[in-house]
């Protein structure tokens, strides 16, 4: 089971590394576009999440759930479905 907190931390680290931001610059409720995350970086983010957590994710998820918190919640639900169990906060 993958926690929402774990997913938020992974997404935040990815954005910090990709966009050269500091952790204190990250607000999990802001739209991902506010961090400058474009379609190429979004595709890399989805790939990183798939590889790290052994998931199959839609490449459009970043646009369907456009904040760190909303994306993490959606991925936690998918992880629960793909790996069994319930999403964990």
pTM metric for this prediction = 0.91
User: What is the predicted pLDDT for the residue at 1?
Assistant: 81
Q: How far is CA 32 from the centre of its chain?
A: 10
Tokens of 43: 């595709």
| Residue 27, helix vs strand vs coil | coil
**Mean pLDDT on 37-58:** 96
The proportion of the chain whose per-residue pLDDT surpasses 70, expressed as a percent, equals: 94
**Mean pLDDT on 15-32:** 96
Average pLDDT value over all residues in the chain: 93
CATH value of 4-83 in 1.10.1200.10, 3.90.550.10, 3.40.640.10, 3.20.20.70: 1.10.1200.10
User: What is the predicted pLDDT for the residue at 83?
Assistant: 87
Q: Which residues contact 11 (CB under 8 A, 6 or more apart)?
A: 45, 49, 68, 71, 72
Does the pLDDT value for residue 58 go beyond 60? yes
User: What is the predicted pLDDT for the residue at 11?
Assistant: 98
Tokens of 72: 């993490």
User: Domain residues of the chain, as ranges?
Assistant: 4-83
């Amino acid at each position: 089971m993958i926690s929402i907190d774990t997913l938020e931390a992974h997404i935040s680290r990815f954005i910090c590394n990709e966009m050269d931001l500091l952790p204190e610059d990250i607000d999990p409720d802001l739209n991902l576009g506010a961090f400058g995350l474009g379609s190429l970086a979004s595709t890399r983010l989805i790939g990183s999440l798939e590889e790290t957590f052994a998931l199959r994710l839609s490449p459009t998820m970043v646009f369907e759930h456009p904040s760190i918190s909303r994306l993490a919640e959606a991925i936690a639900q998918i992880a629960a479905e793909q790996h069994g169990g319930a999403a964990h906060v």
